């Protein structure tokens, strides 16, 4: 059975990383149009505000003042997700 140990360990890490990925890395309520990831300055023009939630998986979810939701970033999956999970010492 030891021939499968590596595959089982990788799957265990992936499952842990997928659970970790759902966690929130940070939240920011603002009316700035200068965020490093922001390519939608119209969301905060004329004094409008947004709520940005950054998840461990790399995605940023923006909730606009009108209730619409926009995503920024690229979701980490597979080995890239495992690497990020291990890098952050989770």
Domain ranges of the chain: 2-87
> Of 80, 83, 43, 81, which is closest to residue 61 (Cα–Cα)?
43
Q: 86: helix, coil or strand? A: helix
| 21-40: pLDDT as tens digits | 999 999 999 999 889 999 99
**Side by side, which strands form the sheet with 69-72?**
24-30, 50-55, 60-64, 69-72
Give tens-digit pLDDT for 39-90.
999 999 999 999 999 999 999 999 999 999 999 999 999 999 999 999 987 5
Q: Measuring CA to CA, how many Å separate 54 from each of 6, 41, 63, 86?
A: 32, 18, 12, 18
Phi-psi label, residue 66: left if phi above 0, alpha if psi -120 to 50, beta otherwise: alpha
């Amino acid at each position: 059975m030891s021939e499968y140990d590596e595959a089982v360990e990788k799957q265990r890490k992936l499952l842990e990383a997928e659970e970790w990925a759902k966690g929130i890395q940070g939240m920011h309520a603002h009316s700035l149009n200068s965020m490093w990831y922001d390519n939608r300055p119209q969301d905060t023009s004329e004094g409008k505000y947004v709520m940005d939630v950054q998840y461990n998986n790399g995605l940023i979810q923006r909730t606009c003042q009108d209730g619409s939701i926009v995503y920024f970033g690229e979701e980490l999956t597979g080995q890239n997700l495992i690497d990020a999970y291990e890098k952050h010492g989770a």
